[in-house]
Structure 1
Amino acid sequence: MSSNYIHEANAEYRRIRKRVPLGVLHSEEEYKNAVAVLDEIIDEIGQNENHPLAEMAEALALFIHSYEEAHFSLPESFGPEILKNLMEEHRLKQSDLPEIGSQGVVSEILSGKRELNVRQIAKLAERFGVSPAAFIPAPPDKKRKLTPGKK
């Protein structure tokens, strides 16, 4: 890579970084802003799993998740467990979630045989009013936390 390329990339990153919190979140204000931006990105992405902003949404969700892990004390869970809990709380059956797929697809997600994709995560976050980060798989050495609640 040439130094000119790095200079241009740096300028573009700084421009984007002014609007999108692509970095470690240090305050509740930064956290709330990141969640709001992620919601806007997900609104823009809609059903398009190949949208150019999908990768940005995933990166932002990881920063949000990291902040939630550090600042919110919640039951340890990850995507399928969170979905099971939300389904129980709302008294839903697998067939009540057509927005993420057929009953068979929902079953595979709940059993861990299939991971949620960006479109499904967006739909679930919207339906249940939780951060999309709650449904993003945590790294193998980390446990997922549900949603922010009590500190």
Structure 2
Amino acid sequence: MNDDLKLTIEHWPFVSSLLTKPQSEADYDVLAAALNELLDIVGEDETHPLIGLVDIIGDWIEAYDHEHHPMPVAGSVDVLRYMMREHNLTQSDLPGVGAQSVVSEVLSGKRQLNIRQIRWLAERFGVSVETFI
């Protein structure tokens, strides 16, 4: 048995909670707290000796999130409503989509955005066209 493995076995009871993939919300919370503390220590230093541990814990947290807390897929209307709310816009503030009545029909689901409108919205909000597709 090599020396690294001997040390790992000897110290396992003290580090196992940080080196085990989360199986529950409690495990997840322990890892998230540890990651926050590690990030405070490591900062922006990509060469820090603990960056490998940051990467491992970060990957496990991300995988747990994807499996247990998936992000809902937002439709183009949901995105448009969100953007309007964030920018304090009214339906009349979107002339590139059309008249206020056209915007109203889009927001109510009676009409879909066309490619011209999507391009205008992407440019207006500084996002990719895929945001509205």
TM-score (norm 2): 0.49
Question: Highest CA radius of gyration, 1 or 2?
Answer: 2
Structure showing the higher helix proportion among its residues: 2
TM-score (norm 1): 0.44
Bigger relative contact order, structure 1 or 2 (CA pairs below 8 A, ≥6 apart): 1
